[in-house]
Amino acid sequence: MELHQLRYFVTVVEEGGFTRAAARLHLAQPGLSAQVRKLEKELGQPLLDRSNRSVTPTEVGRAVLPYARAALAAVDAVRQTVDEHTGLLRGRVTFGLVSGATSHAFDVASFLTDFHSAHPALEISLTEDTSERMQAALLTGEIDIALLGPAEEAPPSGISYQTVIDVPLIAAAAPGDPLFTPSDLTSVPLADLRGRPLICLPRGTGVRAALERACAQAGFRPRVAFEAVAPHVLAKLAAQGLGIAVLPSGEEEPGPGGPLRTLQIVEPGIRARIVLAWPATGPASPAAHALLNRLREALPKAPRQ
């Protein structure tokens, strides 16, 4: 029995067929099929049911599957242990990032370039999604680490946070909007946004959740006329007079005399946060653990408000 035969068997089960398994393993399908049949011949029992369009494990195959996976995991653990002792990181880390999360505070691209240069055998997969979906993906192990905007101050069970950004939400609109009358205003009560067309991040983001929660407590639903996943797009839409952008302070278009005026939202004040998040039990692999430690050192730590 060869280790690669066990890997082929597990991959065929996971992919539900030889064609997809061969593509994933970068093998020719006839060769893959021959190796699995060789394993079955050695064991004296068929492991796969090939009678349907989707290949499924037989009763014996289902019984063998957890042991095959355990054997492969043990071999991977041996390799990881050796790599740890030699300072070599291998494997794959999935890093989730909410759009616009650190545009003003942290250069993710430069950080990942430097980290990859230090660990060229490590593959880093960068994915963008909403904070809500990434938080769920952390709990299921689909991603290892994420920069996201949480809806709640305290992390949910099973997740740990390090706060990176903690800023107030502001209302931004084109000059001349009635919101800025009188002209010396520096803040706007949340209630003044009732019924006004708002421009905001989509549902599933921490900013949107914080806005909707605050409006519900104030007794109204926000009228969101436009959505965009990047804060700078919200600012551009507001500059065209399409509504009032609700976005984190610092995300409005910079520069004196720019096309936007801003007011801090008060009564109540609403805050936007970006956190570094990871499974509370720790990353699943040494590679993910190393990336997390480096991120925790490199990212700014926002003071508690």
Domains and CATH numbers, the chain: 3-86 (1.10.10.10), 92-164+275-298 (3.40.190.10), 166-272 (3.40.190.10)
Whether the Cβ atoms of residue 173 and residue 250 lie closer than 8 Å to each other: no
Instruction: Give 20 or 103, the one with higher predicted confidence.
Output: 20
Q: How confident is the model at residue 83 (pLDDT cuts 50, 70, 90)?
A: low
Query: Nearest-CA neighbor of 37 among 66, 69, 9?
Result: 9
Q: What is the pLDDT of residue 38?
A: 93
Q: What is the pLDDT of residue 79?
A: 74
Using a 10 angstrom Cβ sphere, with 0-12 exposed, 13-18 middle and 19 or more buried, the burial of residue 135 is buried
- Percent of the chain with pLDDT strictly greater than 90: 38
Using a 10 angstrom Cβ sphere, with 0-12 exposed, 13-18 middle and 19 or more buried, the burial of residue 275 is buried
Has residue 279 got a pLDDT over 80? Answer: yes
Q: Which amino acid is at 63?
A: A
Q: What is the pLDDT of residue 114?
A: 87
CA distance 31 to 50: 16
Q: Is the pTM of this model over 0.85?
A: no
Has residue 254 got a pLDDT over 70? Answer: no
Mean pLDDT computed over 207-226: 92
Q: How confident is the model at residue 185 (pLDDT cuts 50, 70, 90)?
A: confident
Q: What is the pLDDT of residue 257?
A: 43
Has residue 42 got a pLDDT over 90? Answer: yes
Has residue 304 got a pLDDT over 60? Answer: no
Q: What is the pLDDT of residue 305?
A: 55
CA distance 45 to 49: 11
pLDDT tens column, 100-159: 555 555 678 788 888 888 888 788 888 888 888 899 999 888 899 999 988 777 888 899
3-class SS at 147? strand
